Structure 1
Amino acid sequence: MGGKYRITGDKYPRMRRPRRRGRLVLLTVACAALLGVIGWGTLQLIDVFTGDGRKASAAGSTAGCTTKTASSAAPAAAPLAPGRITVNVLNATPRAGLAKQTADELKKRGFRIGQVGNATKEYDKKVPGTGVLLGPASALGTSLPVLATQLPGAERRTDAARKGDAVDLIIGTGFKSLAAKPDADRALALLARPQPTPTAQKKSC
């Protein structure tokens, strides 16, 4: 061409296709992610099909079944505090003043004190052990275990016909003293701890 449109020089523009580096990078990342997902899924499938077998072999199972025992740590009903328990202290021994002495010590430890005196004819001089803890049927899992921490060797009895919430501590001829306060406090703390309760077993074959 001539005139003002004449091309001068020895370099000419070259027509190139736009580079696609962005697409290549995106494709590479997508492929890597896909391979990772496939590998993870494969491991999960292997674990599902072989994991239970390993557990069964370790447990010595010969029938191809596994047994699972679940347990829960839900605590049982909390024991009553000593301040909510009324104790009648009754002396079934020939030793005078033993009921009042024992009642005073229980009061120091937080218990409510009811009647203090001699045991009835049914128990008077007829309790060879350290004592008898007597209460209504409802006291078997509430008041009596708490009172037993103060006199561990005492026998526990309930009377279904008994009314009220008070419990009796009937002192027997084998009584020497209440449990030492530090020991009684530790027993109370253990009584208040929740204990795990086993649930039904499940078998899968």
Structure 2
Amino acid sequence: MSMLTPPGMGGKYRITGNRYPRMRRPRNRRRIVLASLASVCALSLGGWGTLQLIDIFSGGTSANAAGSSGKGTGGADCATDAKADKRNPKRDGKKIDLPEPDSIKVNVLNATDRSGLAKSIADKLEKRGFKIGEVTNAPKEFDKKVENTGILMGAPGEDGDARLKVLGTQFKDVENQFDDRKGEDVDFIIGKAYEKLAKEKEADAALTALSDPKPSPSRGRCKD
């Protein structure tokens, strides 16, 4: 009986030959599972990072698309633009009828301590086509109390507002006010910060933009 024959087998089963079975160490299943999970996590993180880079270089179109609401494209932006159009009719690009400078009578009132300033401004406005009314000192309520370039004052209503807007193209940093006057004349009350009229080219461009505004660029197509 061979030494490799198990006891009690009586020699019935013998191992012969010069080859012997090899005993292998059992595989560590836990290590295999952990390695698999680590691979899945790495692939997931890689895919997420790739999507983020695509979103950044494409301008965030996916985020913008997801953030839009309402019917069609544009969502809240379309609703905001529609409300703005109602408040400001100039946004639709239609030409607005405004009074010509020669139909606007301007009173030039000096609220500063610089003598002769009202007469100088009145002469310049007249050369630009405006009618000139009174040229004098401002009332006490405004005398040396106007800090900015000046105040434009006229009658309330759409007509009065239009006259002030046309005259306002000739100045920078002026304030519009309304009083209870009945006439069509307007006042320019000179303030301490006044230096000079706007350049004639700039004033003409501002008047053109006021009467013939360009339609506002749309942020996107708004559909019903």
TM-score bracket for this pair, using the shorter chain length: 0.5 to 0.7
> Which segment is superposed worse, 179-188 or 71-80?
71-80
CA RMSD between the two structures: 2.9
CA distance in 2 between partners of 1:136 and 1:64 (Å): 42
**Higher Cα Rg, which structure:** 2
Partner residue in 2 for 1:147: 167
> Which segment is superposed worse, 102-111 or 188-197?
188-197
Taking a change above 3 Å as real, the CA distance of residues 63 and 81 of structure 1, as seen in their structure-2 partners, is: closer
CA distance in 1 between partners of 2:210 and 2:177 (Å): 19
Partner residue in 1 for 2:114: 95
The answer on 1:162 being equivalent to 2:168 is no
Where does the alignment leave 5 or more consecutive residues of structure 1 unmatched? 1-58
Q: Secondary structure at the match of 1:145?
A: helix
Aligned residue among 128, 152, 158 for 1:133: 152
CA contact (8 A) 2:154 2:161 kept: no
Q: Secondary structure at the match of 2:143?
A: coil
Paired residues in the alignment total 143
Aligned residue among 192, 199, 208 for 1:189: 208
The answer on 1:112 being equivalent to 2:131 is yes
Shift of 1:158: 1.1
Q: Secondary structure at the match of 1:115?
A: strand
Q: Deviations over 1:62-89 (max 9, x none)?
A: 9995369799946253121101111000
Q: Which has the higher contact order (CA 8 A, sep 6+)?
A: 1
TM-score, length-scaled by structure 1: 0.60
Where does the alignment leave 5 or more consecutive residues of structure 2 unmatched? 1-63, 86-90
CA contact (8 A) 1:86 1:111 kept: yes
2:169 aligned partner, one-letter code: T
Runs of 4+ in 1 over 2 A off after TM superposition: 59-74, 138-141, 194-198
CA distance in 2 between partners of 1:63 and 1:186 (Å): 38
CA contact (8 A) 1:76 1:195 kept: no
CA contact (8 A) 1:149 1:188 kept: yes
Q: Residues 5-154 of structure 1 correspond to what in structure 2 (within 5 A)?
A: 60=65, 65-66=71-72, 73=92, 75=94, 77-138=96-157, 139-154=159-174
CA distance in 1 between partners of 2:204 and 2:94 (Å): 20
CA contact (8 A) 1:99 1:116 kept: yes
> Which segment is superposed worse, 133-142 or 69-78?
69-78
Shift of 1:152: 2.1
Q: Which has the higher strand share?
A: 1
TM-score, length-scaled by structure 2: 0.56
